[in-house]
Structure 1
Amino acid sequence: MKNKSGYWLFCAAFFGLMLMLASVSHALASAVTDGLKTTIDRVINVVTDAKYKGDPQARRAKLRGIIHPKFDYIEMGKRSLARNWRDLSPQERRDFIDLFGQLLENSYAKKIESYQNEEIKYVDEVIKGKYAMVKTEIVRKNDVIGVDYKLIQNGNEWQVYDFIVEGVSLIRNYRSQFNKIIVKESFAELMKKLGKKVKDLEAGTANDKDEI
């Protein structure tokens, strides 16, 4: 009888622990999606705010202020340059991250400015250690666009380090372009092209494609 009692106590403790771990995992997963959703909601609020319609520069500045804390530009920069990152000096790395960050902010802002009351669904999330993916869908009248956000945990924050739009990775796309420019021309030429792209985006004269 004593052994049976101990067995059932062990089972109760074990299942209690499993329930607690499941609860913690769910809370962590929710925190990842909720944090991303909060940022996207804030961005949409700015885009749809009537007071910014006549002042696109103020709107873009407001959007950058919201977007910046949610992006891990260092991680994005390293992944976009891949092996070329190793060849850069500390100053070159800082200069690249600064310029690449401006490019990403302006590119994302330009895309989101075309928002026209589409529904955004948060359909799934996967967490593996310090990495996570949040799957979303942009529902339009005639089609659905899948957008997956890849995030990395930095301290208590989850930051985006890649987007996958309809199966195409933003960082992989940039990596291919950057490597071609560096190999055929030079890193200095890449920086020159990035600078021009940023200026064109800020002036509203660049298209919204992820091309340099």
Structure 2
Amino acid sequence: MKTNSLLYRIAKLLLLGICSVGLIFPLAQDLKAGGPAPQKALETFLGIIRSMEFPVKDPSAHERLVREADAFLDLEAMGKTALKEHWEKATPEEREAFMSLLWKLIKQVAYPNSHQFLGSYKIIYPEVRQVGDAFEVRSVVKHSEEALDAKVVYHLYQQNGQWRVDDIILDGISITEDMGYQFNKIISESSFSGLLKRMQEKLDQAQQEPDSKKA
């Protein structure tokens, strides 16, 4: 797999829950409503992504939504888990550059590409299960025309009152494991600096694309 396919996959995984959310609810009010709190937090997170506009018409409003969505995503934990021993071997400067690029790719690639998958998905949440101090929100995504029947599991935990997603599993395949496979392959072939170069190239490519292609 290539680095760009990873961000495409993340975008699709994020979207698989978006279509079930019709409105964005204020977080405090939403979590007091009926239903498990982790599921409500997930729906709020996905609803924020769904409300983004591409092409971006109001940069200030868009940045606010990006910050709100980012607060739900523990990308640092996902990145560390994916890199495994490579994170420990990396210099502080390399770690900082890696996380900065990963966040920028989420903003420039994953969030916009989510809109490419909008469609008539039927999504149900059959189970919310506690696993230690965290929760698994299980969902099933169905689309008859595309013969889609995907099982998606979101792993969430709560930190200082904020629910955060630190892994997403599609049909048994974890995002962190997927990232780990791709990152390890690139690092093995060209070193950690090679990974940073590949990520920067993908970011440059995304930034050069016209906004119409990000819709």
The offset of 1:63, in angstroms, is 5.5
1:49-87 per-position Cα deviation (integer Å, ceiling 9, x unaligned):
xxx465479597565334211111210110110111111
Gaps of 5+ in 2: 1-32
Aligned to 1:70, the other structure's residue is in SS state coil
Does 1:128 find its partner at 2:131?
A: yes
Aligned to 1:151, the other structure's residue is in SS state strand
Aligned to 2:124, the other structure's residue is in SS state strand
| 1:55–1:96 distance in 2 versus 1, CA, 3 Å | closer
1:74 aligned partner: 76
Name the amino acid aligned to 1:112. Answer: S
TM-score using structure 2 length:
0.69
Q: How does 1:1-212 map to 2 (within 5 A)?
A: 30-46=36-52, 52=53, 55=56, 61=63, 64-114=66-116, 115-142=118-145, 143-204=148-209
Structure 1 runs, 4 residues or longer, greater than 6 Å off: none
The offset of 1:188, in angstroms, is 0.6
TM-score using structure 1 length:
0.70
The offset of 1:100, in angstroms, is 1.4
1:23 aligned partner: none
Whether the 8 Å contact between 1:126 and 1:132 is mirrored in structure 2 is yes
In the alignment, the residues of structure 2 paired with residue 34 and residue 54 of structure 1 have an alpha-carbon distance, to the nearest angstrom, of: 28
| 1:105–1:133 distance in 2 versus 1, CA, 3 Å | farther
The offset of 1:135, in angstroms, is 1.2
Whether the 8 Å contact between 2:66 and 2:107 is mirrored in structure 1 is yes
Determine which structure has the larger helix proportion and give its number: 1
Greater gyration radius:
1
In the alignment, the residues of structure 2 paired with residue 194 and residue 166 of structure 1 have an alpha-carbon distance, to the nearest angstrom, of: 26
Whether the 8 Å contact between 2:48 and 2:69 is mirrored in structure 1 is no
